[in-house]
């Protein structure tokens, strides 16, 4: 299915969501989840459209907490529905399909798979471009990691899960969809552990660790299994220093170098998403020129043989 047909399906589906046409794969076994939600795969049967579904666990919360969670959940849906970008997973809507599933957040996804380092040649620049799009709209995602990136039918990465998102208003104050103190510890920046708020710099830090996560196939600080050890490593700035495996060509080393700028311990030293986009574009242009020079046949020189 090409992008045009998929977009048409999504627009049509937003207007006529029918809970009875939603088929959830293994509703008792979520494929993932977070602090207060479970994730499922499903399909909208009448259109054969694959879905990523998010179900809050309201039943496990106290009444007041559940009410706050519902408010955050609805705010997340409203924010997500206003985002329109090829690298952001399209939001379809929210439906109530009974006490068992309560609210579902539906996101169109032709493939519920995550990017790997073998796809990184197509992934890196797009990922940064979509982050630049969010920051340009004064939106802080707040939970950048590989688990929140899905690949569509074109193997194009799409950012999802806006449950931790914050929006800067005109006075630079924040409107949040997040639970206080929630987040993914392994991707948290040092300043967040000091109780500082999420900013675009904390998004950039998480992006750097997400790049290394995809290149290495391991979550950040995979050798540490308890929270205290992870927090100490973050505060000490202990991140990957070099590529842990040999790669052919120069592009992966360029991306790794860009990632190392992102996870700088000093938030003020981290580049903006647009700066990284410009640097990677320049590096790729240089690499392409060098490859073209190497592949272009050179005219053979004739040397006179000395007697």
Mark whether 208 and 102 lie in a shared domain. no
- Tell me: pLDDT of 292 over 70: no
pTM of the shown model: 0.68
Mark whether 57 and 23 lie in a shared domain. yes
C-alpha distances in angstroms, 276 versus 142, 205, 256, 283, 284?
19, 12, 12, 10, 12
Q: How confident is the model at residue 122 (pLDDT cuts 50, 70, 90)?
A: low
Q: Quick: pLDDT tens for 63-91.
A: 777 777 777 777 777 777 777 777 777 77
Mark whether 277 and 133 lie in a shared domain. yes
Mark whether 123 and 100 lie in a shared domain. no
CA pair distance 217, 155, nearest whole angstrom: 18
Stronger pLDDT, 84 or 22, i.e. the higher one? 22
Q: How many residues does the chain have?
A: 307
In a domain, 295, yes or no: no
Q: Specify whether the CB–CB gap between 211 and 255 falls below 8 A.
A: yes
Mark whether 139 and 199 lie in a shared domain. yes
In a domain, 140, yes or no: yes
CATH of the domain at 93: 3.30.200.20
Average pLDDT, the chain: 71
Mark whether 227 and 252 lie in a shared domain. yes
By residue range, what is the domain housing residue 139?
A: 117-288
Element (H, E) at 159: strand 157-159
Mark whether 257 and 217 lie in a shared domain. yes
In a domain, 297, yes or no: no
Sign of CA dihedral 190, 191, 193, 198: negative
Number of domains observed in the structure of the chain: 2
Mark whether 130 and 36 lie in a shared domain. no
Mark whether 159 and 282 lie in a shared domain. yes
Mark whether 152 and 212 lie in a shared domain. yes
CA pair distance 288, 20, nearest whole angstrom: 51
Q: Quick: pLDDT tens for 172-228.
A: 434 444 444 455 899 999 999 998 888 999 999 998 888 888 877 788 888 888 899
In a domain, 243, yes or no: yes
Q: Quick: pLDDT tens for 240-257.
A: 655 655 555 556 677 778
Residues facing residue 50 across a β-bridge: 43
Mark whether 80 and 142 lie in a shared domain. no
Q: Specify whether the CB–CB gap between 203 and 130 falls below 8 A.
A: no
Mark whether 51 and 139 lie in a shared domain. no
């Amino acid at each position: 299915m090409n992008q045009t047909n998929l977009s048409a399906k999504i627009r049509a589906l937003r207007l006529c969501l029918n809970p009875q046409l939603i088929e959830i794969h293994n509703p008792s076994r979520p494929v993932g989840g977070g602090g207060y939600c479970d994730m499922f795969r499903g399909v909208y049967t009448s259109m054969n459209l694959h879905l990523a579904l998010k179900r809050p666990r309201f039943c496990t919360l106290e009444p007041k907490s559940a009410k706050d969670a519902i408010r955050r959940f609805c705010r997340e849906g409203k924010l997500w529905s206003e985002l329109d970008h090829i690298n952001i997973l399209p939001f379809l809507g929210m439906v109530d399909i009974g006490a068992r599933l309560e609210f579902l957040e539906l996101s169109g996804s032709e493939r519920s798979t995550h990017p790997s380092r073998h796809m990184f040649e197509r992934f890196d620049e797009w990922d940064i471009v979509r982050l630049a799009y969010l920051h340009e709209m004064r939106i802080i995602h707040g939970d950048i990691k590989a688990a929140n990136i899905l690949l569509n039918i074109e193997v194009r990465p799409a950012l999802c899960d806006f449950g931790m998102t914050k929006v800067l208003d005109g006075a630079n104050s924040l409107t949040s969809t997040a639970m206080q103190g929630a987040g993914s510890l392994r991707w948290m920046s040092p300043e967040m552990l000091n109780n500082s708020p999420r900013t675009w710099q904390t998004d950039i830090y998480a992006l750097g660790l997400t790049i290394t996560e995809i290149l290495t196939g391991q979550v950040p600080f995979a050798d540490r299994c308890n929270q205290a050890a992870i927090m100490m490593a973050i505060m000490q700035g202990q991140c990957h220093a070099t590529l842990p495996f040999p790669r052919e060509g120069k592009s992966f080393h360029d991306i790794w170098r860009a990632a190392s700028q992102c996870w700088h311990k000093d938030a003020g030293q981290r580049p903006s998403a647009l700066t990284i986009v410009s640097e990677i574009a320049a590096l790729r242009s240089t690499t392409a020129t060098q490859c073209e020079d190497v592949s272009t046949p050179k005219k053979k020189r004739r040397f006179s043989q000395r007697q």
